[in-house]
Every structure is written in C-alpha cells, then in structure tokens.
Amino acid sequence: MDDMSLVPVSAVEEAAQALQSVIHTTPLDYSSTFTRLVGMEVFLKLENFQKTGSFKIRGAFNKIRKLPQKDQANGVIAASAGNHAQGVALAARMLGVKATIVMPEGAPITKAAATRGYGAQVILDGENYDDAYKKAVGFQKKTGAVFVHAFDDTDIIAGQGTVGWEILKAAPNIDAILVPIGGGGLISGIAIAAKSFNKDVKIIGVEASGAPSMSQALAGNAVCEIKDVNTIADGIAVKCPGNITFNIVKEMVDDVVTVDDEEIATAMLMLLERSKMVTEASGAVTLAALLAGKVVVPGKSKVACVISGGNVDVNMISQIINRGLAKTGRLVRLRTAVPDRPGALHELLSVVAQLRANVIAVSHDRLELTVPITETEVELTLETRDINHIQKIINELEQSGYLTQLI
C-alpha cells in the first residue's frame, strides 16, 4: 500500500467535518499590495488567525480525537519547537486528555508560556526539534503515553490537509499554492486535498535555506538527516523529514524552493508594514519566495500563500524591524568626534536638526582611546527618510568639519 492511499482525500474531508466546530475557517485574503509587487494575483491564507496562532491545532485535534479511550487515558506526548506544542496542548485540553510537551531549550518564551497556559506539562530539552524529539520518544517509552508526531502521521496529515480544503472551496480556480515545509505534514495534506479538487493546481513548497531537509531528500531520492539547521524560521527547522510525508511530497508536490533569512525577514517586515499583520518567520517563507522571484507561475495567475503561523517572539520582531529600517535607509548609526568642551555636542546636533533627521539615541564617550585626548567620540542613532537622506547628512557633517563613519 502506498502512502497516498494511507491518507485518502476522504480522510481530509472527514477531518474537515470533525473540525468544523473546533477551529476557525481562516480568511483567504486578496492582497492588492503584493499583487502589484509580483504581477500575480496574491491571496494570503491566514493561519496566523487560527486558534493557538497556527495551523497545528488542525492535525493535533484530528489525531487525539481518533485515539481509543484507553489510549486517551494514558495521555499524549509530543515534541515541538512551539506551534505543534500549542496545538497538542489545546486539543488535549478540549478532549480531556493529559499532555506532555518536550520543547528545545531555545524555543521562544512566548510559545513555551502559551503551551503551559493551555494546560500541558512542558519539558525543555535539546538544542533543536530533533533533540527534543529524541527526548520525547524516550519519555513515551517510560510512561506509555501516546506519541503525537508533529508531521509523519496519517491523522496529522489529514487534519493539516483541511487548510487546502478551505483554500479550494474559497477559490476553486486558484493556480498555485505555496506552502512552508518543515517535516512535510502541512504540504502533504494540502497537496492531497487541493489536487482532489483540481488536479492541475500547482503545489510549491518553500523551505528555509538553512534547513533544506526536504530538498536534500528529494535530490537524493531518500530521507536523510542534514547535519545542521540554522535559520530564524524555527517552526520549519527540521533536520529530517518524515517517511510518509517524503513519499507524498515526491509524488504530489510540483516544486520546492528555498529562501534565506534576509528574504524571510523582508517578507515579515512587509507583512507588518503593508498588511498590518504579525507573522512568524516560518509563516512568512511563502511570501518571501514570491517577493524574491523564486516562484514564477505563467500569466496572470492566482497564487495562494499559506501564512502558517503568527507566534513570533517580540524580541525577534524588534530586531527584524530595526534591521529592515536600516536596510532601507530609515534608521542609521553614525560615529564622529567633537571637541571636548561645553556646547560641542549641541553644535553637532544642530547640524543634524537642520537636515530634518530625528535623533533616537546619543552615546557620548570621553574615554575612547582611538580619538585625541582633546576630543570625545559620539555615536548617533538617527531616524532618516532613505539612503539619499543619510548620504546628505554625512556630506553636510563632513563639510562642517566632522569626520563621520557609517556604522
């Protein structure tokens, strides 16, 4: 029996019926902004608006609800970088089942706190998902709890496939669906559901270039474990895809592309600024692929980007905003020196003020050994309009006698 027959479309349809009163049917939102930018009609499937902030509740609930009563009595255990953890925790609470979740030690604080908030016991262990997975398997053997796999499980795949079911019901004439890939559960389910509606719809997977486990498996025609994962997209930072998911992806997914962290961060910032939408890095990879020109669908195509989650740490948002502002010339740090006498700093800031730059921070260091003893080093953080504005400020400062370095 092949893996596709283990997850027939009827299983996705049945999951959709069971989940109807449990989950949100998330919006498929047309974006005029991104349509204009990429030249294709762009729709965003907003799973960041889902309960727990990601699609994972779909598969988790579908899996746990189908467990025999005696298995439910033993409780469930899962390994997760965060979103699967929350999905399992909430699903278990809804169904009255005890849940234990093993998360990597570096999992975002918000995700660990939310998982505990849904009533699960949280164990922090390991550097990444794969380390947490090994710990969870050992714990499961000791306790007899049922292991709820994050992706390589037929009931999980069927539950995640309801995302594709909703997309095609809302837009039957969609030409392509872009889906994030970690272990492959989401894209496997979506491919099965979407292609049952329309066999011609293109299913395109998007991985982080720092965790290309599915790409490498496809290239070698075998599931293998990559040595290292290094990406801001922690939700898809998986060293080894599933066996079931690999076979489904190999047969049903039309292409897999990768995006780097800079491209992901740019997409996150644009979603925040243009669409007023908070997304996590793994949720933004699909839009990143479109914006970076990694995916080209012929003609005036209709493309759906699955925005798989919105559970991002606020510190990450702050870092991405500041990097994005610096990259586009709207935030800059400059270093210069002024005479070590009263009023010298005021004179420097007067030049900056005349050029209509907003001072965010000033660092004044009299002990810096690289400047003469009669001078003091000054670092300025400025809010600016663009790259040209920054260059104008540097030129004016130097004409006024301030040797200026762009940091």
Contact yes or no for 114/311 (Cβ under 8 A): yes
- The domain made up of 3-51+155-323 has a fold known as Rossmann fold (3.40.50)
Report the top-level CATH class of 329-406: alpha beta
The answer to whether residue 56 is catalytic is: yes
Question: What pLDDT score was predicted for residue 80?
Answer: 87
**Mean pLDDT, the chain, as a whole number?**
93
Least confident of 5-14, 18-27, 46-55, 69-78: 5-14
Mean pLDDT of the region 132-152: 91
Question: What pLDDT score was predicted for residue 365?
Answer: 84
Mean pLDDT of the region 281-290: 97
Q: Which of 54, 80, 188, 308 is catalytic?
A: 308
Question: What is the percent of the chain where pLDDT is above 90?
Answer: 79
Q: Which of 45, 51, 54, 56 is catalytic?
A: 56
* pLDDT-derived band at 4, boundaries 50, 70, 90: low
Mean pLDDT of the region 295-316: 89
* pLDDT-derived band at 371, boundaries 50, 70, 90: confident
CATH fold match for the domains 3-51+155-323 and 56-153:
yes
Whether the pLDDT of residue 153 is over 60: the answer is yes
Whether the pLDDT of residue 108 is over 80: the answer is no
> 345-367, pLDDT tens digit by residue?
999 999 999 999 999 999 988 88
* pLDDT-derived band at 110, boundaries 50, 70, 90: confident
Whether the pLDDT of residue 395 is over 50: the answer is yes
Domain range summary for the chain, segments of one domain joined by +: 3-51+155-323, 56-153, 329-406
Question: What is the percent of the chain where pLDDT is above 70?
Answer: 99
Which CATH number is correct for 56-153, 3.40.190.100, 3.40.30.10, 3.20.20.370, 3.40.50.1100? 3.40.50.1100
Contact yes or no for 182/151 (Cβ under 8 A): yes
Mean pLDDT of the region 76-104: 93
Whether the pLDDT of residue 172 is over 80: the answer is yes
Question: What pLDDT score was predicted for residue 297?
Answer: 83
More confident of the two residues 81 and 309: 309
* pLDDT-derived band at 5, boundaries 50, 70, 90: low
* pLDDT-derived band at 1, boundaries 50, 70, 90: very low
> 231-257, pLDDT tens digit by residue?
999 889 999 999 999 999 999 999 999
